[in-house]
Amino acid sequence: MERIPVWIDTDCGVDDAMALLCAFKLPELDIVGLSATAGNATVENTYRNTRDIAALAGRKDVPVYKGAEKPWIVNLRTAEYVHGEDGLGGAAIAHSDAPETSEHAWDALYRKAKELNGELRVVAVGPLTDIANTIIKYPDFPEYVKELCIMGGVLAGPGNTNMTAEFNIMGDPHAAACVFKSGIHVVMFGLDVTLQAHLTKEEVDVISNTDNDVCRLINEATKKTLALYKSLGLGEIMCMHDSCPVLYLAHPELFHGRECCVHVETGGEHAFGKTVSDLYSDAKFGDKNTLAMLTVDREAVVKLVTSIYQSY
């Protein structure tokens, strides 16, 4: 089987960590690079978390690069209320002793994209600052990206950061707007589909009660998120937001969506950071820059991720 080369840019929080742990184990994927951006936590914490999760998965061979410390224009707003101060819900984890890297994320990402001559798939599961930085510094970068799969935005429902905006897009709306206008075709996993891709408490318990270090980490790391969703009246669930684009690259049949055009609102008073699409309107923007994922086979996702975590 020819493996798919994948670069993952992450603001390594709890669901990011669960996505990385899936990515490393999916035989269809070859994780060729990782980069950490600020978002769920500071870039110092997300960089450390990304290195530590790679080491936990036995993949210290995958280089991790440090990305943006802050968004282009808005202020950095981290999400301790979801992921804890450290970004991993306070879970105990050994720190990686892999060699540190010195290149900026956007320089390393562009270098790898050119090296792979257009075969690289990029997964972005945090604010899009690093991706936009790559586009601005290297205008031909879009020519070397086979597919850009993002967790971000929401088309039909409310935001999770305010009434209209999802956390990753709101994390850097101007960078996100740049990405959607760049000519790169985006496969978008917004809250429309990632809220469907959740584990129930009982399903998390099956993983948590498995006797290996990865499942023990998941048990500790998910406690805060489970309690938060319960307190919000959404039930005691763990949304696998960031696993969606990773699982899609290996198992596209699990997801279904529609082509449309998406732009990011960077003006306005009430909809700043909103991903605006022509998916549901007669009026159309004109081009189609996005495959917007709308449904997922949740049962299949639960079965797949459970088997992956239990296989460590």
Residue 67 interface partner, choices Ca ion, ligand RIB, none, CB cut-off 5-8 Å depending on type: none
The stretch near ligand RIB (CB under 6 A) out of 94-102, 161-169, 252-260, 270-278 is 161-169
Distance CA 12, CA 18 (A): 9
Amino acid at 250: A
Active-site residue identified among 241, 256, 263, 270: 241
Nearer to ligand RIB, 5 or 13 (CB): 13
d(CA 298, CA 171): 27
Which CB sits closer to ligand RIB, 138 or 243?
A: 243
Which parts of this chain interact with Ca ion (CB under 5 A)? 11, 16, 125-126, 242
β-strands 290-296, 255-260 pairing = antiparallel
By beta-carbon proximity to ligand RIB, the closer residue of 91 and 144 is: 91
Q: Which does 182 bind (CB under 5 to 8 A by kind): Ca ion, ligand RIB, none?
A: none
Cα–Cα distance between 279 and 261 in angstroms, integer? 7
Query: Cβ of residue 15: shortest distance to ligand RIB, in angstroms?
Result: 5
- What burial class does residue 202 get, using C-beta atoms within 10 Å of its C-beta: 0-12 exposed, 13-18 middle, 19+ buried? exposed
Which is nearer to Ca ion, 125 or 292 (by Cβ)?
125
Residues 19-48 that bind ligand RIB (CB under 6 A): 39-40
Q: Which is nearer to Ca ion, 242 or 278 (CB)?
A: 242
Identity of the residue, 192 or 242, whose beta carbon is nearer to ligand RIB in the bound complex: 242
**Are 134 and 106 a contacting pair, CB within 8 Å?**
yes
> Facing residues of 188 across strands?
150, 292
Residue 160: name its binding partner from ligand RIB, Ca ion, none (Cβ under 5 to 8 Å by kind). ligand RIB
From residue 168 to residue 187, the character string flagging contacts with ligand RIB as x (rule: CB under 6 A) and all else as - is x-------------------
Can you tell me which residue has the tokens 């991903």?
275
Give the C-alpha separation, 41 to 87, whole Å: 5
- Residue 241 is a catalytic residue: yes
Residue 310's identity, in one-letter code, is Q
CB of 97 to ligand RIB, least distance (A): 26
Shortest Cβ 100–ligand RIB spacing (Å): 24
Give the Cα separation of 27 and 22 in Å (integer): 10
Residue 167 interacts with, from Ca ion, ligand RIB, none (CB under 5-8 Å by kind): ligand RIB
Q: In the block, which residue shows the tokens 């938060």?
A: 228
Buried b / exposed e across 81-106, counting CB within 10 Å, b at 16+?
ebbbebbbbebebeebebeebeebbb
101-140 residues near ligand RIB, rule: CB under 6 A:
125-126
d(CA 217, CA 7): 23
Q: Which of 4, 5, 13, 138: binder of ligand RIB (CB under 6 A)?
A: 13
Residue 243 makes contact with ligand RIB by CB under 6 A: no
Q: Which pair of structure tokens corresponds to residue 115? A: 């090296």
Q: Are 137 and 51 in contact (CB under 8 A)?
A: no
Catalytic residue positions, numbered: 241
* Footprint on this chain of ligand RIB (rule: CB under 6 A): 11, 13, 15-16, 39-40, 125-126, 151, 160, 166-168, 241-242
